[in-house]
Structure 1
Amino acid sequence: MSTDYSEDKLVEQPAIALFSQIGYDTANCFYEKVSSSDSTLGRETTEEVVLVPKLRSALQKLNPDLDSEAINLAIEELTRDRGAMSLVQANREVYKLLKDGVKVAFENDEGEETDETVRIIDWNDPENNDFFLASQFWITSPSGIYKKRPDLIGFVNGLPLIFIELKKSHGKIEHAYKHNLKDYKTTIPQVFWYNALVILSNGSRAKVGSMTAGWEHFADWKRINSEGEQGVISLETLIRGTCGKQGMQQNV
């Protein structure tokens, strides 16, 4: 009888199951259809990292009194090309939009100039947001030269806020930082414009940090909930503490 000790069997699949337990919709996107007419997730190309149908649906739900022009302008601002910026600048700009909303100006139905702020995430009631985990999600570099497939990406309202890189159970998670993460930041930088959390793990050990953090600033996570309940250092503890709907609101 053969035993599967692969990264997918021992680390990735339990992580996906856990995200499902904490309320995320999940999908294996290895065979995702990407096109302008028949697209699984609404992407027209694999260079796109925002799931626009999910984003549009969330914005309409969170801003029921705004017309479609305001929603369209907010989506344009969120998805515009920030390739001329540094990763830090782009990430900081998007973070401000997530926190404060997107200010848009347009003509209303009466032809009057109108200013509105479009809410992107409901920070008070996490259940009002859309949580989705994609595994095996293909991303093409802006240059078109590279095509990468990160392990797991967590989306909130269609925006890729969580980036997870997994190693085999006996693998060193520092390798995930020094090799995989650094490579991704160079080849597919657009996914990090939106990033709030980076998680590196081999299942038993797990660390969390920001997109800009050096390895020494990636931290173990022992806290499970806001009351300070303690747990062992593991991927499950970290996911429950940082990616659970309540935890995600507190840690972004």
Structure 2
Amino acid sequence: MTFNEANTVEAFIRDLLCGGIVHHTTVGPGLARRSGHVSGLGWHFLSNLNLPRQVHEPLVEGHLRDALIRLNPSIAARPDRVDDVVYRLRAIVIGVRTDGLVKANEEFATWIRGEKSMPFGANGEHVTIKLIDFDDFEQNQYVVSQQYTLRAGKTEKRADLVLLVNGLPLVLIEAKTPVRSSQSWLDGALQVHEYYERNVPELFVPNVFSIATEGKELRYGAVRMPVELWGPWRLEDESAPPAMLEVEKAVTSMLR
């Protein structure tokens, strides 16, 4: 496949994820389906303009609140409890400027993994809080958005693609279209590491990993990982496939 300004790597990955189907309104939980079949890799596409969030909000709190009620019976019984959880998550995000991105990311990860509890049980008993259902994936909401914009103070950054699960931006993809032969995945990785993570660290507090590709090679890395340590995605005992196939296979394997 030949890429140019009109036919971008970004669009190729977006359509691979969502099957080319665009949603204009908020979607519910479950993998994206059409006629009983999973569309693309199961992600719903919602444009940045159609997400229920403000430009200064890194999380899609409406989706997060719905998920907390859906996945936690103790919160469903008392929906006002969702405010207590969101307050704590928001505090971690806000605190990134003083605590540092690595610490904030690690703290948020404990919530994502279901290692945190709240006194929502009988007689104030602590119960585990789920942000994501790892037992029944259909209970989660999967959204991919394009040109995901975040404003922090006077700084505004726009990520090519962001993948959100239950309103949490878990994966960021920087897709460079190789209109210049000198452009590579490294340009995208440097943009993430040197500019996005430094200027809008709030976006990366829930981040699991970021991806950089120019359509020929794909590399991924965790927050604050030096770009020289970003690596390719390989299945066990898998040799490197041809350029474009490498990107397609990696995206399919990592993000299904």
Same fold (TM > 0.5) = yes
Q: Could you say what secondary structure the match of 2:169 adopts?
A: strand
Q: Match of 1:84?
A: 98
Q: Which runs of 5+ in 1 are unaligned?
A: 33-39, 245-252
CA distance in 2, matches of 1:162, 1:210: 10
Deviations 1:162-211 (A, max 9, x none): 01111113421112222443101111100111100110001121011111
- Whichever residue aligns with residue 19 of structure 1, its letter is L
Q: Match of 1:64?
A: 73
Cα displacement (A) at 1:216? 2.2
Q: Match of 1:165?
A: 174
Q: Could you say what secondary structure the match of 1:42 adopts?
A: coil
- Whichever residue aligns with residue 96 of structure 1, its letter is T
1:98 maps to which of 112, 115, 123: 112
Cα displacement (A) at 1:154? 0.5
Q: CA 1:128 to 1:228, structure 2 compared with 1: closer, same or farther past 3 Å?
A: farther
- Whichever residue aligns with residue 113 of structure 2, its letter is K
Deviations 1:222-252 (A, max 9, x none): 32xxx877662632222111111xxxxxxxx
CA distance in 1, matches of 2:188, 2:120: 45
1:18 maps to which of 16, 19, 42: 16
Q: Match of 2:27?
A: none
Matched, 1:239 2:242: no
Cα displacement (A) at 1:151? 0.4
Q: CA 1:180 to 1:211, structure 2 compared with 1: closer, same or farther past 3 Å?
A: closer
1:206 maps to which of 192, 211, 218: 218
* Percent pairwise identity: 25
Q: Which runs of 5+ in 2 are unaligned?
A: 19-39
Contact 1:121–1:129 under 8 Å retained in 2: yes
Q: CA 1:222 to 1:201, structure 2 compared with 1: closer, same or farther past 3 Å?
A: same
Q: Match of 1:27?
A: 46
Matched, 1:116 2:130: no
Q: Could you say what secondary structure the match of 1:77 adopts?
A: helix
CA distance in 2, matches of 1:159, 1:228: 32
Q: Match of 1:138?
A: 149
Contact 1:162–1:198 under 8 Å retained in 2: yes
Contact 1:71–1:118 under 8 Å retained in 2: no
Cα displacement (A) at 1:73? 1.2
User: What RMSD in Å do the two structures reach over aligned CA positions?
Assistant: 2.3
Q: Match of 2:137?
A: 126
CA distance in 2, matches of 1:228, 1:158: 35
Q: Match of 2:158?
A: 149
Deviations 1:67-106 (A, max 9, x none): 2133221122122222321100000000011112442236
Contact 2:71–2:130 under 8 Å retained in 1: yes
CA distance in 2, matches of 1:125, 1:165: 29
Q: Could you say what secondary structure the match of 1:220 adopts?
A: coil
Q: Match of 2:202?
A: 190
Cα displacement (A) at 1:19? 0.8
Q: Could you say what secondary structure the match of 1:163 adopts?
A: strand
- Whichever residue aligns with residue 173 of structure 1, its letter is W
Q: Match of 2:30?
A: none
- Whichever residue aligns with residue 117 of structure 2, its letter is K
Q: Could you say what secondary structure the match of 2:65 adopts?
A: helix
Q: Match of 1:5?
A: 4
CA distance in 2, matches of 1:57, 1:124: 18
Q: Which runs of 4+ in 1 moved over 6 A?
A: 227-231
